[in-house]
Amino acid sequence: MTHPKPITVLSEEEQLLQSTVRRFAAETVAPLVRSMEEAAQYAPGLIQKLAELGLLAIEVPEDFGGSGGSFFDSILAVEALAEVDPSVALIVDIQNTLSVNALLRWGTPSQHQRWLPQLAAGMLCSYALSEASSGSDAFALETRAERTAQGFRLQGRKLWISNAREAGLFLVFANLNPAAGYRGISAFLVPAGTPGLTVGRLEHKLGICASSTCEVLLDDCHIPADALLGEEGKGYRIAIEVLNEGRIGIGAQLLGLAAGAWKHAARYAQQRKQFGRAIADFQSVQFDLAEMATQIEAARLMVYNAARLKDAGLPFVTEAAMTKYFVSQVAECVASRCVEIFGGNGFVRDYPAEKYFRDSKIGKIYEGTSNMQLATIARQLLADPIVI
């Protein structure tokens, strides 16, 4: 907290990326939002279009088919997509801030050569950490890994795994040495279709419905030795460091959600008439919109600053936790007030307000609950007491 804060002004290249993704979201994603929501799945071909735009491997070097961009570029893309549909933004978020990030940092050259081109070309990687007994206590894992003559054997059950239905690769966390506690956890790259790996029941969710959330079953699942990501027993470090960065990605998703809800509310307020006037003419509605916009701008500064810190190689764990905690509050508040500005139409599915509200709720839960973010913030600050 004593280091200088990188600036949050966008460069010309970043502005171009932002405008390109916003145009894609408006022209390609927006017409599909309602049908994807009702079908609870992504539209055919959409993931491939994201890949063609370079959004599934933003930080992957160009030699592997990626865009060769920065972490901040990933954040801009997630934000822009979430303005239109947070479900689609989640594809880009998980792929870049969690899965690709882990593979780039801890993968071997051969793992890079095998998987990065496929991820850039349209394969999704699903991040399989959560279990029934490990929510906020993410490392109370019951999934086990055992060494075999050929490699490893995985046995266990993962829950609430995003994009599991569409994934071609799973980053699975399992305990190779339970006696060592969390220090026994290792990470493994498991291709879809591996015997013993089954994508199970699809969860029917309150929001982000197009994004598949499933259980993943590992029953006598044998994988080769080169499926290990990083060193044995370092899975906890991989998970922690990647999730710290992923929280900035969730902040970007929720920021985009809030901005999208605000834009719909502002437009509708100028169209809806009461007492012979547009409701936007009433001071109470103007103040509502002004306060919402102020909260969104504060959230944007926090998201951008945390991402800049990460790219600059500066400490960012506290800022990432603050970002996710604060922006999740802003998103839920703005989405709720959007529903109210729409009035009765905000409560029905013919209008976009209710979807933003439903989608916002998960922000306080996944990738670390709000209470866990507060615990992280307090722990970090008390370890290095300074004047705020």
Q: Which residues are catalytic?
A: 367
Cβ–Cβ under 8 Å, residues 308 and 255: no
d(CA 147, CA 176): 8
Cα-flanking dihedrals φ and ψ of residue 375, to 5°?
Answer: -65, -40
Would you call 112 helix, strand, or coil by DSSP? helix
Of 327, 336, 369, the residue nearest 355 (C-alpha): 336
> DSSP alpha helices (H): ranges in the chain?
12-24, 33-39, 46-52, 71-82, 86-93, 101-106, 109-121, 235-271, 283-311, 317-342, 353-360, 370-383
Of 188, 212, 106, 198, the residue nearest 157 (C-alpha): 198
Cβ–Cβ under 8 Å, residues 88 and 220: no
Cβ–Cβ under 8 Å, residues 194 and 242: no
d(CA 73, CA 205): 29
Cβ–Cβ under 8 Å, residues 365 and 288: no
Would you call 128 helix, strand, or coil by DSSP? strand
132 Cβ neighbours under 8 A, 6+ residues apart: 142, 157, 159
First to last CA, the chain: 8
Cα 241 to Cα 99, 215, 237, distances in angstroms? 12, 24, 6
Of 387, 10, 59, the residue nearest 249 (C-alpha): 59
Residues in the chain: 388
